Amino acid sequence: MQQTVARYLIFFQYTGSKYSGVMKAPAHQAVQGVGNHLENAVRKLKPVNEVCVSISSRTDTGVHALCNSAHVDIQRRADKPPLSEQSLLEALNFQLKEEPIRITRAYRVHSDFHARYQAQSRTYVYRLALGCQHHTLMPLTEKDLCWALRDTRLNIDAMREASALLLGTHDFSTFRALSSDAPFKCPVKTLDLAQLEPGESFSQRHFQRDIQFWELTFKSRSFLYRQVRRMTGVLVAIGQGRLSVSKIQDLLEARDSLAFPNNLTAPAHGLFLTNVQYRDTDLVASMSEEQ
Amino acid sequence: MQQTVARYLIFFQYTGSKYSGVMKAPAHQAVQGVGNHLENAVRKLKPVNEVCVSISSRTDTGVHALCNSAHVDIQRRADKPPLSEQSLLEALNFQLKEEPIRITRAYRVHSDFHARYQAQSRTYVYRLALGCQHHTLMPLTEKDLCWALRDTRLNIDAMREASALLLGTHDFSTFRALSSDAPFKCPVKTLDLAQLEPGESFSQRHFQRDIQFWELTFKSRSFLYRQVRRMTGVLVAIGQGRLSVSKIQDLLEARDSLAFPNNLTAPAHGLFLTNVQYRDTDLVASMSEEQ
């Protein structure tokens, strides 16, 4: 009797600085994606089936995640029981230990569960550090983990006013970067959260310089390609007084990727995917049904 | 006419994970010290004299610094003026850019200034993270930057009571680890600050786990070898209820390195040197006197 295939949803974190992004890179590419390392780790568990890790939320080169998710099927030899959630988590972390990638949670899910399509929301946090005349003057503990701006202050009120205009349902075409991937996806998205709050850092209190941190948080069911970095770039330009608050409205109304101002996309290394949410009921597998 | 030697005080930061410590390692040692990289960087500026970087405050393998200091003499060719403070800072950072070491400030100082002996105080911060069942479950942004404890809480009141007993002037012999370096130094030190405060971390708010950070701050003119890590280890054991508050008094009174309980030294990677202070007047060189 052949063992049933078990499907798992895994949540994982990574610092993105050394990867080509979260998606699996083609074999010939020198720099690998987080996905390559995840698949290799699953393969080390010697499943009978071909391994394919389906990642829920795309992040680019240099972007980090405190929480991303993926599903994967594991079929073991007939004489072996399915891996428990905890065993899977520990075994994958053991395999990944050389890499800045860690599995944080694992759930056995229904065989038709899909990490990407069943995600209810994604949350991104963009970290800004103010008052840094040169990147060498940042605390090294923040290296590649925030966007260091020379400005000592931003017009926070204007940024908050502008981010409120992004809330709700809009055609975000202007905020989508052109990409060969799925250019025909619907550009209408509903932004549930766009907030700006003071950020935190250990080094802020102890480093001998006045560096302030701010965090932009965005939550939506899904985002367009580079949407968060483009929204952040525009909000920062508004905070710097380089754009007026009403520019947000103009950009939304343009509904055109090419209408986005040049060189305004925020750099990748300040961006963190911090949550991918599912319905609680999706995280409870019916084991009887599976067997 | 030969150019005068210019002495500089430099402040620098580093993450210590990849170094054998801050002190220069011998040539045959595979892992280098921060000091080796500093000296190499100064040598790249092609001074006429032999380069020797005198570091003010020793830190061990894995210990970090947001602020350490050193003095160095630079004698340039007769046809070149002395380097300005800003030029020195930028040139050294350019040379160091591959390393997690950065010069944060540079001062031209008197020719008899000594970075180590003229330091008025050193401040260390030890970072604790609570509620981490396994080190793989820590946010990766905190990897090697704190001591991750399984405990979900510590008896903070007891720890504060105990740290108050460390304040002031004591013979800290029990808190000194034995070392071949200068074993005959006076073990009487005056601790000006020993405080425990909630810590901060970006990931605390956004990581999907309840991780609390605490910071122990110690300030003294100088410290004995491993004193901060030993004091921290005892305070944590008191917070965990494994030692009573009065044990601090017993340890101080024992005045014996060997009386220190086994395996209680806190790990290196949670420790940060955060400040080395000098008199303001020491940071103003009298250029006329030098030339």
At the top level of CATH, the class of B6-118 is alpha beta
pLDDT (0 to 100) of residue A135: 77
Within a 10 A sphere around the Cβ of A2, how many other Cβ atoms? 9
Query: For the stretch B253-271, what's the b/e string if a residue is b when 16 or more beta carbons lie within 10 angstroms of its beta carbon?
Result: eeeebeebeeebbbbbbbb
- In this complex, do A104 and B15 lie within 8 Å of one another by their Cβ atoms? no
Residues annotated within the binding site of A for substrate are: 124
- In this complex, do A206 and B104 lie within 8 Å of one another by their Cβ atoms? no
Given a cut of 70, whether residue A180 has pLDDT beyond it is no
pLDDT tens profile A90-137: 999 999 999 999 999 999 999 999 999 999 999 999 999 999 888 778
Catalytic residue among A60, A144, A151, A282: A60
Contacts of B255 (CB under 8 A, 6+ apart): B171, B173, B174, B187
Torsions phi, psi of A231, nearest 5?
-65, -45
Contacts of A151 (CB under 8 A, 6+ apart): A130, A131, A239, A240
> Which of B13, B143, B274 faces A140 most closely, judged by CB atoms?
B13
Catalytic residue check, A73: no
In chain B, where the domains are located: 6-118, 121-274
Q: Which residue has the higher pLDDT, B291 or A232?
A: A232
Given a cut of 70, whether residue B183 has pLDDT beyond it is no
Residues of B annotated catalytic, as ranges: 60
> What is the C-alpha separation between A273 and A222, in angstroms, rounded?
12
Does residue B278 contact residue B118 with C-beta atoms inside 8 Å?
A: yes
Q: Which residue has the higher pLDDT, B201 or A191?
A: A191
> Residue A129 is encoded by which pair of tokens?
């550090």
Chain B residues within 8 A of A136 when measuring between CB atoms? 93, 97, 102-103
Contacts of A6 (CB under 8 A, 6+ apart): A73, A74, A75, A76, A82, A83, A108, A290
The Cα-based distances of B140 to A32, B137, B152 in angstroms read: 19, 8, 19
- In this complex, do B140 and A102 lie within 8 Å of one another by their Cβ atoms? yes
* Residues of A (19-48) whose Cβ lies below 8 Å from B: none
pLDDT (0 to 100) of residue A2: 62
Closest-approach residue (CA) in chain A for B205: A200
State how far residue A49 is from chain B, nearest Cα, in angstroms: 27
Among A197, A264, A259, residue whose Cα is nearest residue A230: A264
Within a 10 A sphere around the Cβ of A184, how many other Cβ atoms? 5
Does residue A66 contact residue A7 with C-beta atoms inside 8 Å?
A: no
Give me the interface pTM, i.e. the ipTM: 0.90
pLDDT tens profile B126-145: 999 999 888 778 999 999 99
Domains B6-118 and B121-274 agree in fold: yes
Write the DSSP string, A84-125: PHHHHHHHHHHHHTTSSEEEEEEEEE-TT--TTTT--EEEEE
> What is the C-alpha separation between B187 and B190, in angstroms, rounded?
10
Task: Please tell me whether residue B66 adopts helix, strand or coil conformation.
Answer: strand
Please compute the mean of the pLDDT values over residues B28-42 and round it to a whole number: 96
Please compute the mean of the pLDDT values over residues A21-38 and round it to a whole number: 94
Write the DSSP string, A238-273: HHTTSS-TTHHHHHHHH--GGGSPTT-SPPGGGEEE
pLDDT (0 to 100) of residue A185: 83
Chain A residues within 8 A of B14 when measuring between CB atoms? 140
> Which of B103, B137, B145 faces A141 most closely, judged by CB atoms?
B145
> Considering just the CA atoms, what is the radius of gyration of chain B in Å?
21
Q: Which residue has the higher pLDDT, B65 or A185?
A: B65
Given a cut of 50, whether residue A273 has pLDDT beyond it is yes
> What is the C-alpha separation between B94 and B144, in angstroms, rounded?
26
> What is the C-alpha separation between B41 and B64, in angstroms, rounded?
19
Among B242, B258, B194, B201, residue whose Cα is nearest residue B220: B194
> What is the C-alpha separation between B126 and A49, in angstroms, rounded?
48
Give yes or no for A275 touching B (CB within 8 A). yes
Residue B65's identity, in one-letter code, is A
How buried is residue B25: exposed, middle or buried, by Cβ count under 10 Å (0-12/13-18/19+)?
Answer: middle
pLDDT (0 to 100) of residue B290: 47
Contacts of B188 (CB under 8 A, 6+ apart): B169, B170, B171, B172
Q: Which residues pair with A23 in a beta bridge?
A: none
Q: Which of B10, B34, B66, B277 to mutate to test the interface with A (most CBs of A within 10 A)?
A: B66
Does residue A128 contact residue A213 with C-beta atoms inside 8 Å?
A: yes
Please compute the mean of the pLDDT values over residues A245-256 and round it to a whole number: 96
> What is the C-alpha separation between A169 and A273, in angstroms, rounded?
21
Please compute the mean of the pLDDT values over residues A145-151 and round it to a whole number: 95
Q: What angle do CA B133, B135, B141 make, to 5 degrees?
A: 120
pLDDT tier at B223 (50, 70, 90 boundaries)? very high
Mean pLDDT of chain A: 93
Mean pLDDT of chain B: 93
CATH code that applies to domain B121-274: 3.30.70.660
- In this complex, do A145 and B207 lie within 8 Å of one another by their Cβ atoms? no
Contacts of B269 (CB under 8 A, 6+ apart): B16, B17, B62, B63, B64, B144, B145, B146, B147
Task: Please tell me whether residue B149 adopts helix, strand or coil conformation.
Answer: strand
> What is the C-alpha separation between B203 and A220, in angstroms, rounded?
20
- Beta-strand pair A212-220/A188-198: antiparallel
* Residues of A (186-225) whose Cβ lies below 8 Å from B: 199-209, 213, 215
> What is the C-alpha separation between B200 and B191, in angstroms, rounded?
24
- In this complex, do A206 and B272 lie within 8 Å of one another by their Cβ atoms? yes
pLDDT (0 to 100) of residue A182: 58
Chain B residues within 8 A of A141 when measuring between CB atoms? 15, 64, 66, 145
Chain B residues within 8 A of A139 when measuring between CB atoms? 13, 66
pLDDT (0 to 100) of residue A178: 85
- In this complex, do B200 and A199 lie within 8 Å of one another by their Cβ atoms? no
Chain B residues within 8 A of A275 when measuring between CB atoms? 206, 208
* Residues of B (1-20) whose Cβ lies below 8 Å from A: 11, 13-15
Lowest mean pLDDT among B115-129, B143-157, B197-211, B230-244: B197-211
Percent of chain A with pLDDT over 90: 83
Place of tokens 């030029």: B87
Chain A residues within 8 A of B206 when measuring between CB atoms? 66, 125, 272, 274-275
